[in-house]
Structure 1
Amino acid sequence: AATNHFRKLYTPVYCYRYEGIVDSLVISTFIDPERSWTLISGAAGISSNIQAIQYIPSTGAILWSARTGSVPAYILAPTSFTTDELFEYVSVDDHSSTQDGELLIKEIFPYPAQNEINIVYFSKKAKNVVCSIYDVRGRKIYQQKIQTTAGENEFTLNISTTLSSGLYFIRMSDNTVSATEKIIIVR
């Protein structure tokens, strides 16, 4: 719960799964992140629980758990990561060479992708570039070295066996500049 609390509603308005949360809120107006996770995931403790997610604005932490086989999400220990691990924050006044057109991803298609990703990019000079694909947790899933020419370049990645459905980030880099774009894979 982003606000660290639930608004107390009266039956029959609120879901029966939040019955356990209501009791704790009457006792205390502050709930630490660990207790909040316990309450949220515990209140959702039904056999069909697919996922539980919690965002803690003060720390930027995200706790996430998903059903694995027959084990509901609320029983599993959550995976913890931060918004800093997911996103690269860039100032509006950023004047890096990427913005000057040194290396620029112009287009990624089809969007969403299924079996292949076509990447159109621009490079000011002929050079070696590394194309990497990262998942939302920042793990490198794929990497390929590419020799580019000066100007517009295009290449195709076959992803039919390497990526499952989800959101990914494609990063083109030459060790001095990089460009990153997102792609959605749908199977």
Structure 2
Amino acid sequence: MIQNKIKYLYKFSLFLILFLKLNTLFGQYIYQGNFEGKNNTEVYIKVELIKLNAWNCQNDGFNYTIDYNWEVSVYKDGEKLENYKFYNVQFYFQIPLGSSDNVYGNITITNPGKGSAKTSTDWYNTKFHNCDAIGLENIEFENLKIEINSKDFSSEDFYIEINNKPLPIELIDFTVKNTEYGNELFWSTASEINNEYFILEKSDDAINFFEIAKLEGAGNSSQTLNYSYLDNSFTTEISYYRLKQVDFDKKFTYSKIISVANTLTAEFSIYPNPVVENINIEFLSQVENEYIVDIFNQNSQKVYSEKLNISKGFNNFTFNIFNNLESGVYFFVIKDSKGNIIIKEKIINQSRL
């Protein structure tokens, strides 16, 4: 029997110890979590237990190792970093009836990626000793302890509350692609439990997010489901997105942040300014759309509003409203059909001078 406890002493100045919950979902044993470090750096970790290997079965227990798959990804400002360097990432499985406090994952990770590994050997104290019938379901699991040593993590201990409930969703992927029609977002779930709806959130700076869409969830499902959304309203060079998954009891979780470069942002030309009679708007659009033009005075009172049907290609609109307005400062605002502001321009009206 192997009963020696494995102990490791780390002398790195920067480290992070994290505890994740184990989730059993349709026969799967998965630990996963997102962890924020310094400099807008985020680490995503997923560990899936695959197989229990048992031998030397006795009346009071057996030796075992666990085969598992691992995935480690790093994001900075929402963009995935392929060449990020860790000092090390190591796993420790906390199993109450094992002889070790922490069963070593038997791997040291220094770069993001995916792989397979096998834990170190441990002894499990139990009266169940039929080696041919032993599987993962015969082991009692608690936390996975992860030690992350990196320049972007301070010397703090982080803990995630133990929760043996299944994950509300198992998210397979979440991607975005810039196309001639706008930013196309796709995500897929392998399973859903009590999933009421998704909220798709957007940000121009990866810090302040706002809702752009709400999509109904499947409730409960064990089949792969696909979701999509087209966002054709963007005014900055980069757009950031994240998913907010909401349960029927209104508890929610966030996905990782993804980003895309907006190469199709329209350029507006508004002239003349100051305006004496008419004002013109010219721009190119990659898609057919509907915009709303609102004009406000200095007191934030709306004095004019009009819907514009936008064609794909070159667009030109002329407004002669300023002859009917008092001279002074006005604000010319263009919004998309969802109410997102695309452009806001200060206009000087000199038509009555």
TM-score exceeds 0.5: no
- TM-score, normalised to structure 2, is 0.25
Higher relative contact order (CA 8 A, sep 6+): 1
- TM-score, normalised to structure 1, is 0.44
Q: Which has the higher helix share?
A: 1
